[in-house]
Each structure stands twice: as structure tokens, then as C-alpha cells.
Amino acid sequence: MYSEALNLSSRGNYLAAKRLLSQLVKNEPNFVNGHSLLGNTYTAVGELGLADDEYSDAIDLCLSDSNGSRCKDLWLSYVNRGCVRLNSGAVQESLSDFNRAASLRSKPELTIATNRARALEILGDFPGADSDYEVAVQLSGSEIAPFWLRSALVKYEQNDVGGAHRRLARVEQRFGEAPEVLVAKAIIDGDGVSLSKLPESQRLLFRDESYLKETLKWGPRMTTAVKALKNL
């Protein structure tokens, strides 16, 4: 049943996988991987509260397993639960999960670094976020990812304009037309021309302070700088 559910989930048939896994963990409540996969399935369909419950069950089972034979990926259950809590707004709780995941790994891990950086950023710990983003950038190698922009913004929040500029220059190589990058370029590089590429619909969004704070979750220095843009 687990293999069938895993196959369904890998093909995006989450509802069918959810039905199978719900029955599976009912029949085998101590099956760690069943709870973990059901948590992944709930996450995929947006049922974050239920996902949290399943990851918690998997973690509790692992912690009660004296020899650890069922818990090779306990760190990943903490990451998954941390991500669910981060996306649910329980940021401090998510940070605890990411810290626990990091303590269980013997080496730096990209998923831990990026998500913990995000939590620290939201909590206003910009030096801590900067440190984790730097680890994540190193781990991602030459693959420029969206979180590189957040790394640049965290540097700006710390008044490291030079560092922000250098990181943003790399981001532009791949995401140069993204609205967030265009606005960041106008602020960090003082490039007002970049705003001319911004559609009016996007301009309206960036004029909305709640969009900056609640949706983009940009820091206070960046939010203030956006509001001060005269040609937005």
C-alpha cells in the first residue's frame, strides 16, 4: 500500500495517495514513513494543519525509537514540519525545527540553510539570516536561485549596500525581468530606468505597503526605500 501511495504521490495524484495513506497509518500507527509521506501529501494539497500533525507523529515515533532504526531521516521530518509552520505563520516554532534539523545533520544542508534564513529574516535577525543565506549560496554553486534575491535584500537591511549590489548583479543574470528584481535594482543600484520596465499593475502592488510587508515580507529598510521611490 505504501509503494502504491508513493507512486501516486510522485505522479501528482495526491488525493488518491492521501486516501491510501490515511488507511495505512490507521492500520499501522507506528509506521514512520507512512506518517511522513502523508504529511507530504497534506502539504501538497494545502492542508497544513494536518500535515503538521503527521510530521509530529513521525517525529514522536522516532524520538521514542530507542535504537533509531526507523529514523534515518528524522532531520527531514523536522525540516518538513518547520516549512509547514513557517508557511502557517508560526515562525518561531519553525525556527526551532530548523535548528533541530541542523543539529541532526553532520554537514550543511541547502534546505535547512534556506528555510532557516527565511525564518530568521522574518523575525528580524538579519545577521543570522545573512549567515545562512551565504551558506545556501555556497551550496547552490553556480545555480542562481530565487533566494539569492532575499540574500541581497538582507544585506541591504544591514546597510551592506556593496554586498547587496554584488549579489543582485548575479540575480539579474537569471531573473532580470522579475518585478521584485527591477524594484530592488532601483533601490540598491539607484537605477530608476529599471522601473520603466514595470507594468502599471505591478506598480500598484508595490505602492501597497501591506503587499511589501505581508506578501513579499520585505524588511523595514527596504519597505521604506520603496515608499520613497518617486517614479514608481
pLDDT at position 8 is 84
By C-alpha distance, which of 18, 24, 97, 98 is closest to 51?
A: 18
Sign of the Cα torsion 65, 70, 76, 82 reads: negative
Task: Determine the pLDDT at residue 69.
Answer: 57
User: For residues 185 and 161, what is the distance between their CA atoms, to the nearest angstrom?
Assistant: 11
Angle among Cα 217, 220, 223 to the nearest 5 degrees reads 70
- Residue 7 is predicted with a pLDDT of 83
Instruction: Print pLDDT tens along the chain (232 aa).
Output: 888 888 888 898 988 999 989 999 999 999 999 999 999 999 999 999 999 999 999 999 998 875 555 688 899 999 999 999 999 999 999 999 999 999 999 899 999 999 999 999 999 999 999 999 999 999 998 899 999 999 999 999 999 999 999 999 999 999 999 999 999 999 999 988 889 899 999 999 999 999 999 999 999 999 999 999 988 8
Q: Can you tell me which residue has the cell 543539529?
A: 103
Report whether 114 contacts 132 (CB < 8 A). yes
- The pTM of the full predicted model, rounded to 2 decimals, is 0.91
Distance CA 164, CA 166 (A): 6
| pLDDT tens sequence across 107-134 | 999 999 999 999 999 999 999 999 999 9
Query: What phi, psi does 22 have (nearest 5°)?
Result: -60, -40
Locate the domains of the chain by residue range.
Answer: 156-232
DSSP state of 231: T
